Structure 1
């Protein structure tokens, strides 16, 4: 009997899934002392790059759908790191703004990347290439979605 599928270790999707899980396990102990999950960290990273944006813009930046993003934003708001306000131009739309505590948290989080970097044995060039390839794959996959 011959197999009709590639063995699991040869599947690209499994390699990406496994690498992602391993990265999340590395982030967890670095973010836990800050009372952050990785998805919350992603939301804050986006807001530290561009604050005072709509929920839609935040979703576009983080690639979280509204069903995932709303609870994340709500939790970060409960922690006092951001706030939602009605948009002055369109009260149906909400803007997301960092609070002073949320802005100050960026200094504490600044140590996460160097600590994570020490645990990954790839060279800077290899990491850059990996990131670029992952971004190219994402773009191609997003384009496939629009062709359906």
Structure 2
């Protein structure tokens, strides 16, 4: 079996995989003191973000899954865990009987705010070596995310 690349460092996919693993390790470390997994953080903070900006009456599980680009079944499982911890409420939607509206509890809001501080600090440290190239990386990632 052969590859089109002579060196593993020529493969953008393999490099992305390596860097992603390194970054996820740093994020896990940052979230550990808060007893949150990375998917829990993403959905908890996304809920806070969407409720604050776009959905003051509560975001639906589907909206949350689409925003975070997380599978709807995974979203439901993670939200169930966060609900059991008292961090959010999942209530029936007023007009769509199949939908659940997600709102954070005061404890969930406080934890989401603390967690985003920890994650953003970890991001600043992880990406600091890029300096001014950080903006270029963001532009490239946005371009890839539009696919």
Q: Give the TM-score range, shorter chain.
A: 0.7 to 0.9
In structure 2, the CA distance between the partners of 1:135 and 1:71, relative to structure 1 (3 Å rule), is same
Which residues in structure 2 correspond to 1:96-115 (within 5 Å)?
Answer: 96-112=102-118, 113-115=120-122
Where does residue 15 of structure 1 map in the other structure? Answer: 15
Where does residue 146 of structure 1 map in the other structure?
Answer: none
Partner of 2:69: 63
Match of 2:90 in 1: 84
Aligned residues: 138
- Structure 1 residues 119 and 86, CA, compared in 2 at 3 Å: closer, same or farther? same
1:24 Cα offset (Å): 0.4
Structure 2: stretches of 5+ with no match in the other structure? 52-57
RCO comparison, higher one (Cα < 8 Å, 6+): 2
Per the TM alignment, residue 115 of structure 1 is displaced from its structure 2 partner at its CA by 4.1
Contact 2:88 2:102 in 1 (8 A): yes
Task: State the distance in 2 between where 1:22 and 1:37 align.
Answer: 16
Find the counterpart in structure 2 of residue 126 from structure 1: 133
- Tell me if structure 1 keeps the 8 A contact 2:88–2:108: yes
Q: Distance in 1 between matches of 2:3 and 2:88?
A: 50
User: Is 1:5 aligned with 2:4?
Assistant: yes
Runs of 4+ in 1 over 6 A off after TM superposition: none
Shift of 1:83: 1.2
Q: Which consecutive residues of structure 1, in runs of 5 or more, have no partner in the other structure?
A: 143-148
What secondary structure, in the 3-state scheme, does the structure 2 residue paired with 1:25 have? Answer: helix
Q: CA separation of 1:110/1:56 partners in 2, compared to 1, >3 Å: closer, same or farther?
A: closer
